[in-house]
């Protein structure tokens, strides 16, 4: 089937399907396909596609920056002489691995390749994956992290989870206006 035969059905896509196709074409740097998908939508939805793309890029940069910050913190802690370093390393690793998994869940939900997006933004997904592999060996579970929070008098209800991150990111991406 040729591209034009496929394109004539774009107007039948749901907004979510159109968004997934739009983001996939954008990641492939297929400008013709991006335009074709965008122009199959009503003008209001067309603007929303571009807004969502921009929000997703901002979110990807934010997630990558947070991952790099956590990796730097972990390296600092591992080199310190602190008695509490192993507990803190486990909590930092929990934050890193939870964000990494939430990013994968969100990308799967939108049908995009999160690693490709990171690479397109020069965030080095290979290095982040390497750090995640190392951190997964020392990470605390959600329950262990909550226990440490409670022992330190912190509110364990504010602990990040995959679900809370994905929900917050989805809200940020899809918000109106």
Helix (H, G, I), strand (E, B) or coil at 122: coil
Give residue-wise pLDDT tens across range 15-66.
888 888 888 887 787 888 888 888 887 878 878 877 877 777 778 878 877 7
Q: Residue 1: is its pLDDT beyond 50?
A: no
Q: How confident is the model at residue 83 (pLDDT cuts 50, 70, 90)?
A: low
For residue 98, the model assigns a pLDDT of 92
CA–CA distance, 95 with 91 (Å, rounded to integer): 6
Q: Residue 5: is its pLDDT beyond 80?
A: no
- For the chain, the average pLDDT equals 81
CA atoms within 13 A on the CB side of 165: 22
The better pLDDT of the pair 129, 164 is held by 164
Q: How confident is the model at residue 112 (pLDDT cuts 50, 70, 90)?
A: confident
For residue 161, the model assigns a pLDDT of 94
CA–CA distance, 28 with 168 (Å, rounded to integer): 27
Of 116, 122, 103, 108, give the one whose Cα is nearest residue 25: 116
Two structure tokens written together for 111: 């049908």
Q: Residue 163: is its pLDDT beyond 90?
A: yes
Q: Residue 118: is its pLDDT beyond 70?
A: yes
For residue 151, the model assigns a pLDDT of 92
- Check: CB of residue 106 under 8 Å from CB of residue 166: yes
Q: What is the mean pLDDT of residues 137-162?
A: 91
124 dihedral zone (left: phi>0; alpha: psi -120 to 50; beta): left
List % helix, strand, coil for the chain (3-state, nearest 5): 80, 0, 20
Percentage of residues of the chain with pLDDT beyond 90 = 16
Two structure tokens written together for 34: 């991006």
Q: What is the mean pLDDT of residues 87-110?
A: 88
For residue 78, the model assigns a pLDDT of 67
* Candidate from 12-26, 58-72, 77-91, 160-174 with smallest mean pLDDT: 77-91
Q: Which residues contact 125 (CB under 8 A, 6 or more apart)?
A: 114, 115, 116, 118, 119
The better pLDDT of the pair 144, 136 is held by 144
């Amino acid at each position: 089937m040729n591209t034009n035969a496929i394109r004539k059905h774009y107007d039948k896509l749901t907004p979510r399907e159109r968004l997934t196709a739009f983001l996939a074409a954008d990641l492939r740097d297929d400008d013709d396909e991006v335009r074709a998908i965008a122009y199959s939508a009503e003008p209001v939805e067309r603007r929303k596609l571009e807004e969502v793309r921009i929000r997703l890029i901002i979110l990807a940069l934010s997630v990558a920056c947070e991952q790099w910050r956590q990796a730097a913190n972990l390296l600092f802690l591992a080199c310190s002489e602190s008695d509490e370093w192993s507990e803190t390393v486990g909590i930092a690793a929990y934050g890193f691995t939870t964000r990494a998994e939430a990013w994968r869940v969100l990308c799967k939900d939108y049908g995009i390749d999160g690693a490709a997006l990171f690479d397109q933004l020069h965030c080095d997904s290979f290095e982040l994956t390497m750090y995640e592999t190392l951190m997964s060996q020392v990470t605390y579970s959600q329950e262990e992290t909550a226990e440490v929070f409670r022992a330190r008098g912190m509110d364990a209800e504010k602990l990040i989870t995959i679900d809370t991150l994905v929900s917050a990111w989805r809200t940020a991406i899809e918000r109106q206006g």
